[in-house]
Chains A and B, each alone.
Chain A
Amino acid sequence: MKHLSCEHEIGVIRALHSGEWTSELRLHVEECQDCGQSLRLAEALRQTAAHAQVRCSPPDPHWILQRARRMARAIALRRIALLMAAMRTLAALYVIAVAAWLMRGYAALQYREVAASMHGANSEIGLLGALAAAVCVAAGLFPILRGGSEPG
């Protein structure tokens, strides 16, 4: 396997950071071209970085926290808005489907026969339908009521 860099390079960089040089390492840097180049580059980069960081004036961390909270609220609101839009679409589809079903039913039956056809089996189906509608309404309202009851 071809060696891409000297095995002591990491040790040289660590020594540069910690300032803990051994005599063997110093001797090695003087002899090794790769380590010498790495050391010169690291020193130059560190000096340049130290010079550049003088101009760094990071904002107050409290301001960052406030901004992150605003972002979190905006994300949560966006998601709720998306959920509500999906619920509205589903509700519209539900109304259209029910209307179509009713129109088809009324077209097939005489108006006066509809009341007479409400026997036990149809009542059970009707009850199941009402139950399904109630579950859908409750699922839609839950995130809204939950959001309204919590602080913030």
Chain B
Amino acid sequence: MEDARTIADWATTGREQTAAGEEGFRQLYEATSRPLWGYLQHASGRADVADDLLQETFCRFLLRKPPAMDEASARSYLFRIATNLLHNRPRSRDDDAREEPAECSVEIDQGVRLDVQAAMRQLKSRERELLYLAYVEGMSHAEIAAATGLGTMSIRILLYRARQKAGEFLEPKRSGS
């Protein structure tokens, strides 16, 4: 019933929301949309899925947002919604074929990039999520636990296994190049 009241209040007072509130959302959106898109793209392996789920994540966040929430909590909550959406989305045949990254002007080590792409294809979705949150977002185990809904101790074990698995796929190719 609390949810219903929040949604109804939000719906009826939407037009009366202050400019400051919208500005707050705009700032949060600017700060989190790209990392969140990167996470969704990395975990799903598809840019089109990341585009759709990014919009859905922010819409759900706006619908469910508790009254008082600082930026760090909001960020963690956004990643939690995104993770749930990733797990709940209907699977399609296209998911088996992770897309190759398009060429762009960013200067990177091409050999490393291709090896990572190949290694990530071998990992499960959950393992890719954990590696991204830990190594790209730099989240602590507690923060990852909040973002994924797993226990903090489980994160430690799962992350270790994911790293070992990624390392197995990554290291031989690096040494060979």
A10 located at the interface, meaning its Cβ lies under 8 Å from any Cβ of chain B in the complex: yes
**A37 in contact with B59 given A45-B116, A58-B34 (CB within 8 Å):** no
Residues 41-61 of chain A, each 1 if its beta carbon lies under 8 Å from chain B, else 0 = 111111111111111101101
Residues of A within 8 A of B116 (CB): 44-45, 47-48
Looking at A4, A43, A58, A73, which has the most chain B CB atoms within 10 Å of its CB?
A: A58
Contacts from B to A (Cβ < 8 Å): 4, 7-8, 10-16, 22, 25-26, 29-30, 33-34, 37-38, 41-42, 47, 50, 54-55, 58-59, 62-63, 101-102, 104-106, 108-109, 112-113, 115-117, 131-132, 134-136, 138, 140, 156-157, 159-160, 163, 166-167, 170-171, 174
Residues of A within 8 A of B131 (CB): 41, 45
Question: How distant is the Cα of A44 from the Cα of B22 in the complex, in angstroms?
Answer: 36
A14 located at the interface, meaning its Cβ lies under 8 Å from any Cβ of chain B in the complex: yes
Question: How distant is the Cα of A70 from the Cα of B145 in the complex, in angstroms?
Answer: 32
Contacts from A to B (Cβ < 8 Å): 4-5, 10, 13-14, 16-17, 37-38, 40-56, 58-59, 61-62, 64-65, 67-69, 71-73, 75-76, 79, 150-152
Tell which of B7, B34, B136 touches A72, judged by Cβ atoms closer than 8 Å.
B7
Question: How distant is the Cα of A4 from the Cα of B163 in the complex, in angstroms?
Answer: 11
Tell which of B25, B104, B140 touches A10, judged by Cβ atoms closer than 8 Å.
B140
Question: How distant is the Cα of A71 from the Cα of B57 in the complex, in angstroms?
Answer: 13
Question: How distant is the Cα of A53 from the Cα of B132 in the complex, in angstroms?
Answer: 13
Tell which of A41, A53, A54, A75 touches B167, judged by Cβ atoms closer than 8 Å.
A41
Question: How distant is the Cα of A56 from the Cα of B15 in the complex, in angstroms?
Answer: 30
Tell which of A42, A64, A68, A69 touches B135, judged by Cβ atoms closer than 8 Å.
A42
Does the CB pair B135–A47 fall under 8 Å?
Answer: no
Residues of B within 8 A of A62 (CB): 22
A-B contact pairs, 13 of them (CB 8 A): A37-B163, A40-B174, A44-B170, A46-B136, A48-B42, A56-B37, A56-B50, A67-B59, A69-B10, A72-B11, A75-B63, A152-B11, A152-B13
Does the CB pair A75–B37 fall under 8 Å?
Answer: no
**A76 in contact with B8 given A41-B135, A53-B37, A55-B102 (CB within 8 Å):** yes
Give min CB distance, B11 to chain A, whole Å. Answer: 4
Residues of A within 8 A of B132 (CB): 45, 49
Does the CB pair B108–A51 fall under 8 Å?
Answer: yes
Question: How distant is the Cα of A51 from the Cα of B103 in the complex, in angstroms?
Answer: 9
Does the CB pair A38–B108 fall under 8 Å?
Answer: no
Residue of B nearest to A58 (CB): B33
Residue of B nearest to A68 (CB): B62
Q: Which 5 A-B pairs have the closest CB atoms?
A: A42-B135, A68-B62, A72-B11, A58-B33, A61-B29
Residue of B nearest to A59 (CB): B55
Given contacts A10-B140, A54-B105, 10 further A-B contacts (CB under 8 A): A4-B157, A13-B138, A37-B167, A41-B131, A44-B113, A53-B37, A54-B104, A55-B102, A68-B59, A72-B63
